[in-house]
Amino acid sequence: MKQLGKDIAWVLSGIALVALLAVCGLGLLQLALHFYPRLSDLGGAPWAAWLLVFAIPEAISMVGIVKLWQKRKPLAVGILLTSVIFATHFVMHLVDHWNG
């Protein structure tokens, strides 16, 4: 039972790490829009937003999963779970806002 509690703590830590990474990406986007206000004139620069808020955190997450899989599997599972949910959310956002 003690090991299960530790594993759950590692999974929750992985979830928190990915959530923090996504918040940092969102913060970078807001900083970019603050320092380069012309990006707002372009409709909020959707490609920059997708890169900063989705692509970079997902890439960092995948590297973390691969690196941590052997030694800290519960942490890697938490990161993987959150990354899959985040990617699914992103795809659903694209499908909802598709104009083509």
Instruction: Please return the burial class of 73, using the count of CB atoms within 10 Å of its CB with bins 0-12, 13-18 and 19+.
Output: middle
In order along its 100 residues, the chain shows pLDDT tens digits of 788 888 899 999 988 998 898 888 888 878 877 887 776 666 655 666 777 778 888 899 999 999 999 999 999 999 999 999 989 988 888 888 777 5
Q: Which amino acid is at 81?
A: L
CA 86 to chain centre: 6
Q: Residue 18 in contact with residue 60, Cβ under 8 Å?
A: no
Instruction: Note the pLDDT of residue 68.
Output: 92
- Mapping DSSP to helix (H, G, I), strand (E, B) and coil, where does residue 32 land? helix
Predicted TM-score of the model (pTM): 0.77
Extents of the domains making up the chain: 2-96
Tokens (6 digits) for 92: 């659903």
